[in-house]
Each structure stands twice: as C-alpha cells, then as structure tokens.
C-alpha cells in the first residue's frame, strides 16, 4: 500500500439515496448530485451499513483517530476542543509503520490548557503523530469558511504546524484552501527525496456546515497536478480560486432549481430556498475536490495502490448559522437521513449511519457493496492491517480488509454508541410516529446482526432496550423487544461489559456492576498463546500466528514463557467472590494490557515505564468474568505481576483458586 487517504466531511448527504431520488424524478423531492463520489463508489466499495462512533463531530473524530469506541475514548458527548488522549492514533501507528503523516482541515481536539500561545496546545496534531498540519485548530473556527473575511462568524485563525498563517488568505474558501494545501503536500512529498516513503493523510473538511457559505467562483477545470484548485502561495492570492466575490457562487445546477413544494403538479413549482442551494453547492464543491484529488493521485501514478476512504462524521444537521432572511435548514428538504429516522445528535440510524466509500483499485473490486455492519473506529485496525501490521491491543475495532477485498474471514465489529443531548428528534413526517419529537437525553445504541438495541432518555441500567430489525424496519417503528427477552438480557449485559465510566461524561448506568457470565465445563487455570515479533506497540494478536500454546495453573510468565517468543496472550475467567468494587494491578518488564470482558481496565502499553505498577477499578457482580492479558516481555528479565483487591480483601496476587478456563 503506497498511501492511505481518509476524507471526512461534516453532515454530508447520504449520496446513494440522492441518486435514488434523482432516478425517481419526483419533483416534490429535490436531490443533489455527486458525480465524483458516484465514480469513487463504482470503482471501489460502498459501506451502507457503517456507523459513526458518535452523532456529533468532536467525539466522532476522536474515535476515528484513536480506534476507540465511545465507551473508551476520552473525548465524549459535546467536549469540543478537549485534548485528544496521548495514546495511539491513526497517525502515530502509521508513522511508526514508516508512513509520512499529514492532517489538513478542522482539528478541534487540541485541548485548551494554559500554554496556547504560538500553537502550543497539548494535543496539537504534531503531538499526536502527524508530521504536518494545516487548518483550523479550534472547533468554533470551523463554523466560518472564510478565515480572513469572516463573513458571518468573524475572522478565524489558520495554523500551519505551530504558526498562525491566516494573513494573506483573502478570499480563500476553506473547502478550496484545504484541498489546495492537501494537493501541495502530496505533490511535494511524491516529487521529493522521500517519494518512496508511503504517506497517510487525514483530510477533514469543515463544509458543508454552520454558515453554509458559498465559494467565490466555479471550480477550476482539469484537476490534478496542473488543473483544479492550485496553491499559488502569494499573499492575497494564496490559491487560484481567491478571486471574485466571497460567498457568491451557486452551482448552475441549483441556481434556478425549482420543486413541487405542495406536491401538486398542477400548481407552479417554486424556487429552492437559498439555504438549500447553499447546502447543495457546498456538497458539490467537496465532490469536485474529490475528483481533483483523484486526478492528482493518477498524475503521480499512485492511485492504483492508494487506499482512499470517504466518510462523514455524523448525520445531517439542522444547524445553519445564517442570518435572516435566510431560511433555517431542515434535514428533510433532501431527506439527507436516507430511509432512516433521526439526524445529527440522534443515535437512531438517521443520525449515525454514514455515507462511506473505500477505493483501492489493486485490492478492492469495483462495485463492491459491503453489507456487514461496521463502525468508524474499525479504520485504525483496517489501515494497520493494510500496512501489514496488527493493530494495537487497545483498539476496539476490527480490520475490514476481509469485507473490502473478499479475502479472509471478517471478524464481527462492535457497533456501539453512547451520547447525551438535551434536545429532541425533529418531528418530520418522514419519521415514524414513535420517533417524532423524541426526548433524547442519555442515549445508547448497540447492534447485533440485523438487530439494533436502542435506548433514549435512559434513567438506569435496568431500562429496557427497544429492539428493531434495522434491515427490514429502517424507520425503527416495530419494537420487537417483547418477543426477544434473551436478546434484551444480552444487550443490557453487553453495554456494561464493553465500556468504562468517565467522570467527565457521566451516565446513569456508570455505577451498575458488570454482570458475570454463565460458563459450563470450566477447568482450573488459564490458557495462553505465545507469539514473536517486533512491533512499536503491544499488538492485538488475533491476526498473528501462535508459535506455541498451552495451559497454566496461574498467571506466571516464568512458567509460561517459551524460547523465541516475546508476546503472549493469557486468558481465562476470574471468579469474583462477591458483588462490589475490584481493583486490578499489572506490572510488566516491558508492556501489558488488561481487558475484563471487553472493557479496557489497565493500559500498561503506550508511555508505560517498564517495571512500574498500573491499576484500574471496575465494579463486578459475583461470578465468572472473562479476562485477557496481552503481554510483551523483555529478553532475559520476563516479569509479570497480576494482583487484585476486592470488597472484602486487601491487595494480593490473583490466586490460582479463582482462575478458570
């Protein structure tokens, strides 16, 4: 794989659904067009069953970048501008794999802290694995698409690495500016002395969103190295579209567009409101940029072996921060939520199902449709697998390469979302009656095959899930929960077993004890597998081939270790003697990671000081709880301690008497 390209846009249309509307040619249902995205889908794979990790941008992007679900990511709910955790990211894992890394566009995960002058934010992209950054650092800056003129929201700051560079960006529409910066960086890299080095680019557009500003002029013809948007580098004309009048260009397809507003063909059609012309033009502009960038990859002769992924970070928005007399934006003008109910900030499928396309001509067959459910934090293990490496042990995702390429067995994704919002779902007539005007508050969504478990306005861990067959019942109107008591029980248990509480994003189920599992025919002791390899992180070993395996009476690495092996997976069940709070302790000669059920309890990997003790607490019900310890030893001094303390006993080594397999 020569390079990896991840596009993200805010609240973009479900593009395939727009094509369906165009085909139907119902004049009461307007549509937008995206020819380059259509071409990308025809040349690659469409993933119509992929979800965002959270239905709003900051937590969604945090999960994309870290490979962690919202049950583990440190940025949750509406924590805009919070510092992304200092741990593994898409950028630093691929950088360690030999890739040059660049982030272009909106960031919003930098952290405020005290030292913000000169770009010294704690979680600046350069501090999270990127070699280069150009864009808006602050979340709120992304609500304005002209950084100098600040037409509706005031002037904003653009940063190149740790230098503020907005001076001279007159008339630079950010959709074009980020595209030009991305093209410049790619061309410079591919034509420079390091051109044999693969690269990873994270290109995060801030359009279409917020003020829905228009570009200045038509998109330049051609695309690629010598056409399309170009970086000129001259103050006052930094890019070749910094001409004409800001916020002025409506695409011809929409400038005079009309529709059957009253669903009565006998009455005259009326013009699209200006707000929707703006939204469609902004979407078309991104589509043009995608065509431009694909032409660049072709000009540089790297398009065949470049994996390109396009997605949005949440469902369609109703937030158009335009002054009157502009009309408010409503997501049901284009029905951007597709055949689903819900919008941005809903965990209903309309707010969390994404328009995802992946193209990699040398590996992904054309016109592929991937119908297995997946979620955005699956991309980190997918990209590491494409680079020939296992994902870090802390990742919550799985590689999607088997689904994309048709080779190998696809592991099941954990599709899980948690989020809180104080507003209500819109009362659109397109939605089922049950979902119109729904009170959101605390929400959860989890998927099992074709079945979705959904909770809104959660009061406690005992609240029932609504259960829907999302394939047959896209509007989530036929609640099957009464006929599925076993699945109800599974969902209630699973959502406690896959997450950890975060005091900065409290939930009504945070203090619920994690249920034990029922297991027949257990034996005393633990199982282990031994592996060998040199990785820059403690690997998830599911994609590796074991050199040896066996059982042991206890977690004693001295009795388990095998010559030539340096990585181990030790797993089994620990029997909690009573309900209550348990604290576990790990100390490793190099690295270790502990999961209980699927909850990440101790991370002694990233930034871990060998030989020190790390601990994590979890509330458990009495009974058996599955655990996994990932361990990497240090040659000649393999050591691993595994201690615990519980509601009625002090810290001690986890005894063999409570271990089973």
Backbone dihedral region of 603: left (phi > 0), alpha (psi from -120 to 50 degrees) or beta? Answer: beta
The pLDDT score that the predictor gives to residue 4 is 78
Average confidence (pLDDT) over 614-634: 97
- Provide, rounded to the nearest whole percent, the portion of the chain with pLDDT above 70: 97
Q: Domain coordinates of the chain in residue numbers?
A: 3-36+56-314+355-360, 526-660
Distance, CA of 574 to CA of 497 (rounded, Å):
14
Task: Give yes or no for residue 15 having a pLDDT over 70.
Answer: no
Distance, CA of 590 to CA of 575 (rounded, Å):
27
**Tokens encoding 311:** 């997605």
Task: Give yes or no for residue 636 having a pLDDT over 80.
Answer: no
Nearest alpha-carbon partner for 100 in 92, 88, 108: 92
State phi, psi for 169 to the nearest 5 degrees.
Answer: -90, 35
Distance, CA of 104 to CA of 552 (rounded, Å):
50
pLDDT band at 172 (very low <50, low <70, confident <90, very high): very high
**Which residues are registered as beta bridge partners of 574?**
625, 659
pLDDT band at 260 (very low <50, low <70, confident <90, very high): very high
For the segment 382-433, what is each residue's pLDDT rounded down to a tens digit? 999 999 999 999 999 999 999 999 999 999 999 999 999 999 999 999 999 9
Q: CA dihedral in degrees (90, 93, 95, 101; nearest 10)?
A: 0
The pLDDT score that the predictor gives to residue 532 is 95
For the segment 274-302, what is each residue's pLDDT rounded down to a tens digit? 999 999 999 999 999 999 999 999 999 99
Same topology for domains 3-36+56-314+355-360 and 526-660, yes or no? no
The pLDDT score that the predictor gives to residue 11 is 53
The pLDDT score that the predictor gives to residue 116 is 62
For the segment 16-70, what is each residue's pLDDT rounded down to a tens digit? 667 788 888 889 999 999 999 999 999 999 999 999 999 999 999 999 999 999 9
**Which residues are registered as beta bridge partners of 528?**
550, 570
Tell me the fold of 3-36+56-314+355-360.
Alkaline Phosphatase, subunit A (3.40.720)
For the segment 483-542, what is each residue's pLDDT rounded down to a tens digit? 999 999 999 999 999 999 999 999 999 999 999 999 988 999 999 999 999 999 999 999
The pLDDT score that the predictor gives to residue 212 is 95
State the pTM of this model.
0.96
**Domain with residues 526-660, CATH architecture:** Alpha-Beta Complex (3.90)
pLDDT band at 437 (very low <50, low <70, confident <90, very high): very high
User: Which of 167-171, 186-190, 327-331, 454-458 shows the lowest mean pLDDT across its residues?
Assistant: 327-331
DSSP strands (E only) in 171-327: 199-204, 231-234, 237-239, 258-259, 270-271, 306-312
Residue ranges of alpha helices (H) inside 169-273 are 174-190, 252-255
């Amino acid at each position: 794989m020569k390079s990896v390209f991840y596009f993200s846009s805010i609240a973009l249309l479900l593009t395939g659904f727009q094509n369906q509307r165009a085909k139907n040619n119902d004049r009461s249902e307007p549509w937008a067009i995206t020819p380059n995205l259509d071409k990308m889908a025809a040349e690659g794979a469409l993933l119509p069953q992929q979800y965002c990790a959270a239905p709003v941008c900051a937590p969604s992007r945090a999960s994309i970048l870290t490979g962690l679900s919202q049950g583990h990511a440190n940025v949750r709910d509406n924590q805009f501008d919070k510092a992304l955790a200092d741990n593994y990211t898409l950028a630093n894992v691929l950088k360690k794999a030999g890739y040059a890394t660049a982030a272009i566009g909106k960031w919003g995960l930098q952290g405020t802290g005290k030292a913000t002058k000169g770009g010294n934010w704690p979680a600046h992209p350069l501090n999270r694995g990127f070699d280069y950054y150009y864009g808006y650092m602050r979340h709120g800056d992304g609500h304005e698409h002209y950084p100098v003129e600040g037409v509706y929201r005031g002037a904003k700051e653009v940063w190149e690495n740790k230098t503020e560079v907005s001076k001279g960006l007159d008339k630079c529409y950010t959709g074009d500016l980020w595209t030009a910066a991305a093209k410049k960086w790619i061309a410079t890299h591919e034509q420079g002395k390091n051109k044999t080095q693969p690269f990873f680019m994270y290109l995060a557009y801030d359009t279409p969103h917020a003020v829905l500003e228009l570009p200045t002029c038509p998109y330049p013809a051609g695309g690629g190295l010598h056409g399309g948007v170009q970086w000129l580098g001259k103050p006052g004309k930094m890019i070749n579209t910094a001409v004409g009048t800001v916020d002025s260009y409506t695409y011809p397809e929409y400038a005079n567009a009309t529709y059957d507003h009253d669903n009565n063909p006998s009455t005259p059609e009326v013009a699209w409101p200006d707000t929707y012309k703006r939204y469609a033009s902004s979407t078309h502009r991104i589509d043009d940029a995608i065509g431009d960038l694909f032409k660049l990859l072709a000009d540089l002769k790297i398009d065949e072996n470049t994996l390109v992924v396009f997605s949005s970070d949440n469902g369609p928005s109703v937030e158009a921060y335009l002054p009157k007399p502009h009309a408010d934006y409503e997501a049901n003008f284009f029905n951007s939520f597709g055949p689903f109910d819900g919008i941005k900030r809903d965990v209903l499928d309309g707010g969390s199902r994404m328009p995802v396309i992946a193209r990699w001509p040398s590996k992904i067959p054309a016109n592929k449709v991937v119908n297995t459910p997946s979620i955005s934090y699956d991309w980190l293990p997918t990209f590491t697998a494409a680079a020939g490496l296992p994902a870090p042990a802390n990742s919550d995702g799985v590689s999607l390469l088997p689904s994309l390429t048709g080779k190998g067995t696809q592991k099941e994704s954990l599709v899980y979302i948690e989020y809180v919002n104080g507003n209500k779902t819109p009362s659109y007539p397109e939605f089922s009656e049950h979902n119109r005007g729904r009170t959101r508050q605390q929400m959860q969504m989890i998927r099992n095959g074709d079945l979705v478990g959904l909770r809104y306005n959660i009061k406690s861990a005992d609240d029932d899930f609504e259960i829907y067959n999302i394939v047959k019942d896209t509007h989530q109107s036929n609640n099957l929960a009464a006929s599925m008591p076993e699945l109800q029980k599974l969902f209630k248990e699973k959502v406690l077993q896959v997450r950890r509480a975060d005091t900065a994003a409290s939930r009504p189920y945070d203090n619920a004890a994690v249920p034990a599992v029922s297991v027949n025919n257990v034996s005393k002791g633990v199982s282990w597998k031994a592996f060998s390899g040199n990785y820059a992180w403690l690997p998830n070993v599911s994609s590796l081939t074991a050199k040896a395996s066996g059982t042991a009476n206890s977690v004693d690495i001295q009795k388990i270790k095998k010559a030539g092996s340096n990585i181990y997976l030790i797993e089994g069940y620990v029997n909690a003697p009573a309900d209550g709070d348990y604290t576990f302790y790990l100390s490793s000669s190099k690295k270790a990671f502990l999961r209980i059920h699927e909850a990440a309890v101790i991370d002694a990997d990233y930034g871990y000081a060998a030989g020190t003790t790390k601990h994590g607490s979890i509330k458990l019900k009495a009974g058996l709880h599955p655990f996994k310890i990932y361990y990497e030893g240090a040659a000649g001094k393999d050591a691993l301690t595994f201690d615990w303390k519980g509601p009625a006993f002090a810290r001690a080594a986890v005894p063999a008497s409570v271990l089973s397999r």
